[in-house]
A and B are shown apart, each in its own frame.
Chain A
Amino acid sequence: MEVLTLQLGHFANHVGAHFWNFQDEAAAQESEDSSIDHARLFHYSEAAKAVTWRPRLVAVDKQGALGGAGPAIETQAEAKEPDEGMWLGKLEVLRAAPVVKHAFQEDLEDEEMEEEVESERRGVKTWAEYDFRNTVRTWTDFLKVQLGSVYELPRVQHGISPFPFFFEGLEVQGREEEESILDLARRQTELCDQAEVVQAVYDMQDGFGGVADVVMRWAREELPKTGKFLMAVLPEEVPATDRPDPEMWGMSPQADVSTLALDYEASSWLSAAFSFARLQDCDIHAWVPTPVPLWSASSSMPQLERRNFYEASALPAAALDNALLPCRIRGLARPSQFLSQLAPSHRPCCGLLQALPLPAAPPPVLGQAPGGNDTLEAIFEAGAFVDLTGMKVMPLNPYTSVVLRSPEQRRLLNLTRTLPPLARKQSLVHHQPLILPVPFPQVFASSVSSDGSLEKGRDPGQEVESCPMVTRLHAAMGAGKCEALQRMSAVLKRTSVFAAMRQRYGVEADEIREVLEVVTDHMECAADSSDDDDDISE
């Protein structure tokens, strides 16, 4: 019942890094919580007397995006020079400026060396001491787990060559890149006795949308029975070097801003739209857009820096961990089944909200049964949820899955009572809070105590170590407007897009109209009939 994870894109890999850090913490808690089946996410092997756990993962990023992540420990011993006899002529050595290892990585390595030394759960230092916010350069800086299959796209240089649009990603088709990526996926699959789930996080605004398309088509062919869950991310802002060339859209630098065909934001949504439309025939069960720019504000995380990849990626990672927890618990229905029932068939668009931490129950009201005023709706009303998607919640939507985790089991069960029966079946109550690894950004309000409760608050210097939490995954169908789809549609309707797309990619107007049709179709099914204050086709 294995779960294959795909991380495609630079921001997606940040999300993935946090995600694996959660898994690593959870595995360390194994003895206390054996209800989680870690073999679903990790492949366990015993070779040369060493036991290794490797994520069942294929990660793709740009070349050079791994920063200071050096060769795996095993290969470090390898000769650092060319083998004798391979070439008799001259040798020229070209060295890139060395990248200094992040202090956190240094400490992890040391820890590994001094096996089993009595150390505290949380390592030597704290989040504040590592100063992650200002020191993380890329996702490998704060990742705790050793990854196996990471592929760096040749010719696409991190921070240098833009990989601006869906179609650039599609270009890997038929090339060595495609073969290499799919072979990594195949090898991971070969290790699975019975793959149940493909969960993918991908950058929807750039070429990685195209890469995701290629991989998901492979998955449709080779893993037809698995449940397929896609989280489509989009960072708040990318560095200028990673943006599409202004020229690309026929904008000359001298031109007046008002005549610009497409700015970065518009091109992102356009790219996302192509990705979304093309994925419709890949048998996807859930497609969850989590674009940072569309997040609702959260009062529980006042200090979160949305522009910081490392920080912003932590939220979707926590949501992913929690929302898909039902796929990893032993003895439940099969994960593929769970996923295939999340949304109505062929309507994979889903919204996602999370409350991290889950606030405490309100004081009981006189004359009401205890817990009577403690409902998900009340928590929502109180603003404890961050809406990661921008999609209105309909309390009676049967296509809903709520996952709650906290030691207060009875309270959690009580909270599910207002869910419609089908939604309740798809929901889960778990007795362990989410354990936060050291690198998880400490962006909580000072009223949150170290165990994530909102009552006691915490002293300065103390960090939040675990959090009760809730996620709510809900299908767009009947859920009201979906902000992401609206953005796509708005860009697709701009007339300037036609000329720009034809000039740049040879895409004809008809094809753009088809994409718009798909988007509109999903948007309209998402339109809530009782919701009359919004004009969808603005």
Chain B
Amino acid sequence: MVTVVNSKADVLKAAQALAVNLNAAKGLQEVMKSNLGPRGTLKMLVGGAGQIKITKDGSVLLGEMQIQHPTASMIARAASAQDEFTGDGTTSSVMFIGELMKLAEQSLAEGLHPRLIAEGFELAREETVKFLDTFKIHVDEPLKEREKLVCVARTSLRTKIAPSLADPMAEVVVDAVRTIKKEGEPMDLNMVETLHIKNKLITDTRLVKGLVLDHGARHPDMPKRLENCYILCCNVSLEYEKSEVNAGFFYSSAEQREKLVDSERKFTDEKVKKIIELKKRVCTEENGKSFVIINQKGIDPPSLEMLAHENIIALRRAKRRNMERLPLVCGGQAVNSVDDLDVDDLGHADLVYEQSLEDDKFTFIEGVKNPQSCTVLIQGSTDHAIAQMKDAIKDGLRAVQNTVEDEALVPGAGAFEIAAHVHLEQFKKSVEGKPRLGVEIFGKSLLVVPKTLLENSGLDVQEKLLRVLSERENKNKVVGISVANGDPIDPAAEGIYDNFLVKKQMLGLAPVLAEQLLLVDEVIRAGKSMKSDGGMQG
């Protein structure tokens, strides 16, 4: 939708190639920078046929851009890898790369060899990573620090949606993560289902302690609501089996076919009967229990009929993931066969009901004890608002997950970049010779984050930045910048936190790519290895 740079680089002579790389990096930075921070600009992309996409997210924007230039697309790939790995920091990464390239350009013009700059970058990078380790704030047992988690979620969400929406959503994502976290096990964010219903208002988005499925029963006589339910979660085909008998087109008589159908049917009916037997055994008049089946495989109409007759709700073709989520939500276990079914296999929910909206049906499984999986139910009246909300919530969930896994936070609002800059100013004195310039460039480039935050607030960048820097230099306090007035603030006091992982990843990816882009001879090879490495995950 947005074409950044059009030249398709075929043969690039070294000097020319470097210039092109610099331009591509700057071009991309230019497009992205207005995105950054809580005062950034929301972008509405209107496609050629009137399709609308609204986003403030760097990675979403990159995904929509038509990036033809190979260098620009390398940068975009690096930024996407950042997003894939950490869920955040895409915009900052693009800007950081752009700034490194821009500042390097001047030194290059003065005749400094790119290799020396790259060397300096490398030294600065290692030093900054070390510094980050000392700068981060340890959080012991983050799950118990609900307040801190809400802060980090809120910081993230407020860069994507208005505060009046972000604040309640911060609570939603924190509670969601706290629900699924199991002691001593790595967290699987997939255990939070995010589902949307195009209905009502965006402010009706909420956390459901339970599971919502995007389909309903396919039989008109099945109940629409049951209370006090046993839940059978299974992966068993309840459709008729294919017989192995050879029937042709022209010659098989109707009678022959009838017979086939009969025997096939019998096999399936047996399975349904076994389930019904179990239902009859466990649901008595005394305990007042009812019965619900959630099946990953199909259920054909005759089977549905039999089940409906027993007042059972049965859903077919549930998501694979829901087979993992369901036992975590309501207990019991997913079964692959209906032989030897037992009451222990079953889960429990106080309430199961169906909600239908035009063509779409939704089934809610609620009223469960100690669920370890849950659903964020997004509601809203337009597709684009829903999409925007979905992206924001995804980022919020990742921010909380990262915090829990890092057991650490980094003060936000540019505080880290400012502190690291000041630190590198000191460090550079210990660096001998020309690479020192590279260290200096690196340090200056970090300031692109606070600078852009100021710029996006419409403030005087130079003046405000100097104040914040001197505050850091003189008092050695942690200082960030206020997006309201540009004054120095204490991010911790304001509850503005970023993820440690995000910063660390940014330091790992951006400078390395910038180095590759500077050393043009290696660009082509670099491009290849970037591609074949695919994502950066191991």
Contacts and interface: CB of A to CB of B under 8 A. Distances in A.
B108 interface: no
B47 A96 contact: yes
A254 B380 CA distance: 56
Q: Which secondary structure dominates where chain A touches chain B?
A: loop
B42 A48 contact: no
B68 A254 contact: no
Q: Which secondary structure dominates where chain B touches chain A?
A: loop
Given A225-B239, A334-B242, A505 B11 contact: no
Interface in A406-440: 424-428
Contact of A190 (B40, B42, B317): B317
Contacts of B247: 333-334, 337
B317 A97 contact: no
A90 B48 CA distance: 23
A70 interface: yes
Top 3 A-B pairs, shortest CB-CB distance? A425-B248, A99-B48, A190-B317
A333 B527 contact: no
Contacts of B237: 224-225
Contacts of B2: 94, 96
Contacts of A157: 66-67
A424 B41 contact: no
Interface in A154-201: 154-155, 157, 160-161, 171, 175, 183, 186-187, 189-190, 192-195
Interface stretch (B181-189, B296-304, B487-495): B296-304
A190 B46 contact: no
Nearest to B68: A160
B393 to A, nearest CB: 13
Interface of A: 45, 47-48, 63-64, 66-71, 75-76, 78-83, 85-99, 101, 154-155, 157, 160-161, 171, 175, 183, 186-187, 189-190, 192-195, 222, 224-225, 245, 247-248, 253-254, 326, 332-334, 336-338, 340-341, 424-428, 503-506
B387 to A, nearest CB: 11
Interface string B279-299: 000000000000000001110
B316 interface: yes
A92 B43 contact: yes
Interface in B29-86: 34, 38-52, 54, 56, 63-64, 66-68, 70, 73, 80, 84
Interface string B219-258: 0000000000000000001011110001111111000010
Interface stretch (B130-138, B159-167, B435-443): B159-167
Contacts of B385: 82-83, 86
B249 A47 contact: no
A326 B247 CA distance: 13
B161 A87 contact: yes
Contact of A189 (B241, B251, B317, B388): B317
B261 to A, nearest CB: 10
Nearest to B246: A341
B48 A427 contact: no
B45 A253 contact: no
B343 interface: no
A88 B298 contact: no
A78 B531 CA distance: 39
Interface in B190-242: 202, 214-215, 218, 237, 239-242
A86 B202 contact: yes
B164 A428 contact: no
Given A82-B44, A194-B298, 7 more contacts: A67-B49, A94-B2, A96-B2, A155-B80, A247-B524, A333-B247, A425-B249
A96 B1 contact: yes
**Most chain A C-beta atoms within 10 Å of own C-beta, residue among B44, B45, B163, B215:** B44
Interface in B501-538: 524, 527-528, 531-532, 534
A330 to B, nearest CB: 12
Interface residues of B, number: 77
A64 B47 CA distance: 9
A97 B3 CA distance: 11
Contacts of B528: 247-248, 503-504
Contact of B41 (A91, A186, A189): A91
Contacts of A424: 248, 250
Given A86-B161, A86-B162, A171 B534 contact: yes
A154 B63 contact: yes
Contacts of A248: 528
A171 B77 CA distance: 14
A96 B43 CA distance: 13
A195 B44 contact: no
22 contacts: A71-B49, A71-B52, A78-B383, A80-B52, A83-B381, A87-B162, A89-B38, A90-B34, A92-B42, A92-B43, A92-B44, A96-B1, A96-B48, A99-B49, A161-B67, A193-B218, A194-B239, A194-B240, A194-B298, A194-B300, A224-B237, A428-B249
**Most chain A C-beta atoms within 10 Å of own C-beta, residue among B46, B248, B358, B532:** B248
Contacts of B527: 247
A333 B252 contact: yes
Interface string B4-43: 0000001100000000000000000000001000111111
B520 to A, nearest CB: 14
B48 A88 contact: no
Contact of A183 (B165, B298, B319): B319
B426 interface: no
Contacts of B34: 90, 92
